[in-house]
């Protein structure tokens, strides 16, 4: 990606320039013509670079302002990429007096046709979440690389295991066969950290895919391959913090580039301080300015250069890799005004673009605050289209394992959805049973597969956008010690050539694994083809005797879902559901394929869900 720069340094060895001046980086490394917002701010880093005079001579690409900051090794160049600017290569000259001391060939690329009007992920999709280090090692040659401090060690649950983009590429058939239509991959940018570099949330270079996953070009190839299959690619982004080995941590542009404290100060992780009308200033301040971890410096998005850097970086990836969506990490932790500005800017350039923010809060009202268009008392509009349904995740974990009661058991699902009035757009919420940050769903269910099936049937038929965490379809658990992030992110069996099992194939899976795999595959593929589940209305009935009934319906079709949370089979009279059932005489149960010719009574096996397409 810094090819032009490297080439230039080769052509003009630094020795011919003034001793004091170097040109190390220009970011974004290239840009495009034809954006609605014509402004571009370049971060320029190099020894004493601020002592130079900068000029750009290119039609329509105009240098508006040169900004200096505390550190003389930086310049921030405000440029305009006007409507008249044609794709091509502009020369940015850095001079002392009449002497050229640095030169950067800045490419303005043409945007792909249809770039602005791209579609994005939606309730039509089923998302599959992959932790790239733990899915498949497609290229062992990139496992250990010079310059990358952490080496592969599969015996360490918190170490790098060697998975990569090639591994994902190699198993797109598997993912697509499951019916998946969108891939969310945990962050892929360089994490050159000495420990825990595998998870990707300690970025050390925002413009570069970690070479142990592959190159930027490999990411493009993956994007193309995903798109050729009619699938979508969602990129995980992290604005709140970087990794402590990020290159700029050695030479910060200004002291306020990151939020600094007299001593290490951890965030209180209470995202609710943002919405809490009674929150103290001390708590709010610590939430937003405290560091997520010792190795994760907290970026100060209130600094306008940091803000522009992050916004441009996200647009750069969308445009470069043809992204279909973004998942934003720790969404409430950065300064929220900046996050709103980011969301607005994205929508300005890509009006149909979807972004899901990780707003990890336990109450629907708190999560709803963050969804775009919420009527918040403080007037805040997040410009964030989508949120994760953490309250529903929490309810799912409990609903099938508790005794039925007024507030316990299956009624939890009913009560959470009953609070959908809080959300501006309840159908644009990501629903999930687990993800990379929590114990796997089966762990909370004492490995009872019936309950996993219930959860999968639920997330695949309720409102919103379902997300399935890799390995859930083959009964992956956190393992024997049931703790630690590393165990939540175990290797997919068969992803490594030395694995004794290959769960990517039916032959390689156990009977139990094939049973759940087939169950999920059948439901996902049925959902893919069921518009009524994507966009149909939702209506439910108060659970009675541990049985919860809801309908999805539109003009053309109606689907009835019946969940039996009892330890015994239940036969129910259906008179109570006549407002839907009176129009129908029969139905087909999706999982068994059985025809039902008498809808007056229904029998649902213990701890299971039936899904009936009504005829």
* Phi-psi category of residue 218: left, alpha or beta, with phi > 0 → left and psi -120 to 50 → alpha: alpha
292: DSSP letter: S
Angle at 12 between CA 7 and CA 18, to 5 degrees: 135
Counting residues that bind Ca ion (by CB under 5 A) gives: 6
Report, in Å, the least distance between residue 160 CB and Ca ion.
9
Of residues 563-592, which lie at the interface with Ca ion (CB under 5 A)?
Answer: none
Residue range at the interface with Ca ion (CB under 5 A); choices 102-110, 124-132, 134-142, 502-510: 134-142
Q: Which of 133, 143, 329, 613 is catalytic?
A: 329
- Residue 197 as a binder of Ca ion (CB under 5 A): the answer is no
Residue with tokens 């316990």: 408
Kindly tell me which residue out of 27, 125, 133, 143 binds Ca ion, with binding defined by CB under 5 A: 143
Residue 94, strand partner residues: 54, 102
Query: Any catalytic annotation for residue 153?
Result: no
Residue 102, strand partner residues: 94
Decide whether 143 or 467 has the Cβ nearer to Ca ion.
143
Report, in Å, the least distance between residue 376 CB and Ca ion.
45
Report, in Å, the least distance between residue 213 CB and Ca ion.
8
218: CB partners within 8 A, 6+ apart:
165, 166, 209
Binding mask 230-249 for Ca ion (x = CB under 5 A): --------------------
- Residue 137 as a binder of Ca ion (CB under 5 A): the answer is yes
Is 185 in a helix, a strand, or coil?
strand
Residue range at the interface with Ca ion (CB under 5 A); choices 159-167, 296-304, 444-452, 596-604: 159-167
Residue range at the interface with Ca ion (CB under 5 A); choices 135-143, 305-313, 439-447, 448-456: 135-143
Q: Which helix (H) or strand (E) holds 390?
A: helix 390-399
Residue with tokens 């080769």: 10
Decide whether 164 or 358 has the Cβ nearer to Ca ion.
164
Q: How far apart are CA 94 and CA 102, in angstroms?
A: 5
175: CB partners within 8 A, 6+ apart:
128, 183, 231
Decide whether 187 or 464 has the Cβ nearer to Ca ion.
187
- Residue 189 as a binder of Ca ion (CB under 5 A): the answer is no
> What are the Cα distances from residue 485, in Å, to 155, 248, 267?
15, 28, 19
Residue range at the interface with Ca ion (CB under 5 A); choices 155-163, 246-254, 548-556, 578-586: 155-163
- Residue 136 as a binder of Ca ion (CB under 5 A): the answer is no
Decide whether 137 or 462 has the Cβ nearer to Ca ion.
137
Residue range at the interface with Ca ion (CB under 5 A); choices 108-116, 138-146, 194-202, 579-587: 138-146
Report, in Å, the least distance between residue 581 CB and Ca ion.
54
Q: Which of 392, 399, 395 is nearest to 430 (CA)?
A: 392
Q: How far apart are CA 251 and CA 258, in angstroms?
A: 12
Residue 469, strand partner residues: 129
Decide whether 60 or 211 has the Cβ nearer to Ca ion.
211
Residue range at the interface with Ca ion (CB under 5 A); choices 141-149, 299-307, 360-368, 433-441: 141-149
Decide whether 345 or 489 has the Cβ nearer to Ca ion.
489
Kindly tell me which residue out of 162, 322, 343, 494 binds Ca ion, with binding defined by CB under 5 A: 162
Report, in Å, the least distance between residue 195 CB and Ca ion.
18
Report, in Å, the least distance between residue 589 CB and Ca ion.
44
Radius of gyration of the chain (CA): 26
Report, in Å, the least distance between residue 182 CB and Ca ion.
24
Q: Which of 78, 80, 82, 75 is nearest to 102 (CA)?
A: 75
Strand-pair category, 601-604 with 39-45: unpaired
Decide whether 162 or 187 has the Cβ nearer to Ca ion.
162
- Residue 164 as a binder of Ca ion (CB under 5 A): the answer is yes
Neighbours of 521 (CB within 10 A): 16
Report, in Å, the least distance between residue 164 CB and Ca ion.
4
Question: Do the beta carbons of residue 358 and residue 329 sit within 8 Å?
Answer: yes
Residue range at the interface with Ca ion (CB under 5 A); choices 76-84, 103-111, 140-148, 600-608: 140-148
Of residues 487-526, which lie at the interface with Ca ion (CB under 5 A)?
Answer: none
- The number of helix segments (H) and strand segments (E) in the chain equals 15, 26
Q: Which of 143, 236, 319, 358 is catalytic?
A: 358
509: CB partners within 8 A, 6+ apart:
474, 503, 517
Q: How far apart are CA 234 and CA 236, in angstroms?
A: 7
Question: Do the beta carbons of residue 411 and residue 543 sit within 8 Å?
Answer: yes
Kindly tell me which residue out of 73, 122, 123, 142 binds Ca ion, with binding defined by CB under 5 A: 142
Decide whether 121 or 492 has the Cβ nearer to Ca ion.
492
Of residues 334-353, which lie at the interface with Ca ion (CB under 5 A)?
Answer: none
Q: Which helix (H) or strand (E) holds 221?
A: helix 216-228
Query: Any catalytic annotation for residue 443?
Result: no
Question: Do the beta carbons of residue 413 and residue 384 sit within 8 Å?
Answer: no
Decide whether 67 or 497 has the Cβ nearer to Ca ion.
497
Decide whether 88 or 211 has the Cβ nearer to Ca ion.
211
Q: Which residues are catalytic?
A: 329, 358
The residues binding Ca ion (CB under 5 A) are 137, 139, 142-143, 162, 164
């Amino acid at each position: 990606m810094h090819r032009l720069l490297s080439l230039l340094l080769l052509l003009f060895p630094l020795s011919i320039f003034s001793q004091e001046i170097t040109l190390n980086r220009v970011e974004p490394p290239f840009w495009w013509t034809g954006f609605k917002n014509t402004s571009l701010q370049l971060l320029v880093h190099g020894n004493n670079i601020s002592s130079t005079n900068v000029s750009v001579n290119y039609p329509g690409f105009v240098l508006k302002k040169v900004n200096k900051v505390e550190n003389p090794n930086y310049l921030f160049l405000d440029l305009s990429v006007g409507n008249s600017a044609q794709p091509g290569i502009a020369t940015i000259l850095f001079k002392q007096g009449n002497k050229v001391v640095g030169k950067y060939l800045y490419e303005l690329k043409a945007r792909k046709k249809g770039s602005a009007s791209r579609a994005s992920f939606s309730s039509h999709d089923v998302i599959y979440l992959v932790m790239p280090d733990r899915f498949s090692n497609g290229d062992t040659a990139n496992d250990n690389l010079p310059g990358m401090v952490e080496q592969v060690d599969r015996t360490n649950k918190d170490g790098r295991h060697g998975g990569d983009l090639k591994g994902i590429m190699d198993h797109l058939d598997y993912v697509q066969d499951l019916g998946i239509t969108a891939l969310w991959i945990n962050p892929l940018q360089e994490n050159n950290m000495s420990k825990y570099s595998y998870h990707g949330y300690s970025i050390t270079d925002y413009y570069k895919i970690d070479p142990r996953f592959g190159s930027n070009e490999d990411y493009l190839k993956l994007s193309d391959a995903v798109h050729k299959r009619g699938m979508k690619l969602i990129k995980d982004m992290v604005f709140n913090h970087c990794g402590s080995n990020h290159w700029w941590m050695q030479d910060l542009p200004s002291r306020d580039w990151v939020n600094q404290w007299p001593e290490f100060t951890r965030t209180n992780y209470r995202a609710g301080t943002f919405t809490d009308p009674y929150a103290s200033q001390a708590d709010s301040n610590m939430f937003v300015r405290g560091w997520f971890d010792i190795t994760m410096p907290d970026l100060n998005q209130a600094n306008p250069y940091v803000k522009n850097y992050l916004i441009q970086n996200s647009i750069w990836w969308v445009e470069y890799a043809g992204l279909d969506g973004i998942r934003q990490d720790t969404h409430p932790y950065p300064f929220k005004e900046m996050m709103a500005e980011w969301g607005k800017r994205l929508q300005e350039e890509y009006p149909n673009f979807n972004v899901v923010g990780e707003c990890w809060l336990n109450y629907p009202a708190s999560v709803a605050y963050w969804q775009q268009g919420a009527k918040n008392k403080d007037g805040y509009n997040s410009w964030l289209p989508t949120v994760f349904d953490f309250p529903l995740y929490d309810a799912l974990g409990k609903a099938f394992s508790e005794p039925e009661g007024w507030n316990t058991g299956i009624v939890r699902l009913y009560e959470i959805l009953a609070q959908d009035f809080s959300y501006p757009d309840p159908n644009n919420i990501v629903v999930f049973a687990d993800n990379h940050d929590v114990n796997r769903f089966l762990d909370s269910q004492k490995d009872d597969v019936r309950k996993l099936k219930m959860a999968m049937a639920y997330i695949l038929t309720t409102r919103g956008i379902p997300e399935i965490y890799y390995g859930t379809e083959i009964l992956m658990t956190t393992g024997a010690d049931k703790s630690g992030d590393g165990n939540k992110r175990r290797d997919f069996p068969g992803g490594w050539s030395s694995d004794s099992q290959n769960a990517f194939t039916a032959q390689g899976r156990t009977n139990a694994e094939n049973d759940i795999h087939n169950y999920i595959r059948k439901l996902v593929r049925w959902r893919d083809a069921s518009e009524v589940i994507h966009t149909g209305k939702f209506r439910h009935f108060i659970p009675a005797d541990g049985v919860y009934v809801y309908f999805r319906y539109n003009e053309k079709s109606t689907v009835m879902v019946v969940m039996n949370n009892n330890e015994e089979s239940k036969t129910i009279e259906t008179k109570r559901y006549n407002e839907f059932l009176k129009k129908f005489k029969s139905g087909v149960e999706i999982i068994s394929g059985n025809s039902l010719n008498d809808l007056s009574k229904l029998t649902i096996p213990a701890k299971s869900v039936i899904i009936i397409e009504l005829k």
